[in-house]
Amino acid sequence: MSDISFEDRVAIVTGAGGGLGRCHALELARRGAKVVVNDLGGAMDGTGGNSEAAESVVAEIKAMGGEAIANGSSVSDDAGVKKMIEDTMDAFGRIDILIANAGILRDKSFSKMTMDDINLVLDVHLRGSFKPIHGAWNIMKEQNYGRIVVTTSSTGLYGNFGQANYGAAKLGVVGMMNTLKIEGAKNNIKINTICPIAATRMTEGLMPQPMFDALKPEYVTPAVINLVKDDAPNGVIISAGAGAFSMAQIVETNGAYVGTGDDLTAEAVAAKWDEITDTSTQTAFKAGNEHGANIFARISEATS
């Protein structure tokens, strides 16, 4: 198996001043990429900001002989994202890879969560993925090349107490991926999702210390490298942590046809509930039209 190389590729990694983003940026640089290290340098709750963290990672990359620049823009700010894209193009002339990794937490039970808590988390995680990707999209289209990774979470995929805002944002990026994988295909733009299980500043204090020590962020990065390489897949969700990897999917059961008109009642649906929810036959659809086709298939079977 040949080594994965990013020679002559240019990568933007958001939230790369520490944790997962730093590991992604360093590994891309080791493999030859020119890297834009974006980090606002704020606190975990999104307040404050300075360029020290991003500059430190740039210094690490340069010390290993790589090329990198720092960018301190907020991924939720239109003008800041515009500057990030402009800085990249001015320095390197193209954008091949974009890893949307920046994140914050405002964890509270839903009854105690304020609209500020909701809006800020959505701004950073969801809009903060949309905006850089949107800024780079037409550049990638013109190049006929692009590799994008968005970052989800088990909270988005499956739920977690006290993180309704975070979970909504993290599943939102999967919805974005599901459309962009289709729109970008004709221009060789591939987009995938990483679901990391890692010990970072955001997870410190949420797990026992031995588990925290085992979940090194650098153990997630090999999956990300595979999601942005030349022959990357398109539209997959890969979970990664502590050296183990798996694929997550949204699936749908075959379902059942119940009827129409007077035959279609809540009680009729209840009578077929076991068939509707039978998980022994289920499919991961590649596009929304396949979802509709599944429903029409049940109708055809029952009425033909």
Give the integer Cα–Cα distance in Å for 161 and 165: 11
Residue 51 is predicted with a pLDDT of 79
- The domain spans of the chain are 10-248, 252-303
**Considering 145, 158, 166, 257, which one is annotated as catalytic?**
166
Say if residue 204's pLDDT is above 60. no
Q: Which CATH number fits domain 10-248: 3.40.50.720, 3.40.630.10, 3.50.50.60, 3.30.465.10?
A: 3.40.50.720
- Count CB neighbours of 151 within 10 A: 25
Q: Which of 154-163, 220-229, 294-303 comes out lowest in average pLDDT?
A: 294-303
Residue 46 is predicted with a pLDDT of 47
Same fold? 10-248, 252-303? no
Q: What is the CATH number of domain 252-303?
A: 1.10.287
Residue 114 is predicted with a pLDDT of 98
Query: What is the rounded average pLDDT of the residues 146-164?
Result: 97
Residue 247 is predicted with a pLDDT of 98
Say if residue 80's pLDDT is above 80. yes
Task: Look up 145 and say whether it is catalytic.
Answer: no
Q: Are 21 and 102 in contact (CB under 8 A)?
A: yes
- What does pTM read for this prediction? 0.93
Residue 206 is predicted with a pLDDT of 60
DSSP E strand boundaries for 39-171: 68-71, 97-100, 146-151
Q: Are 145 and 90 in contact (CB under 8 A)?
A: no
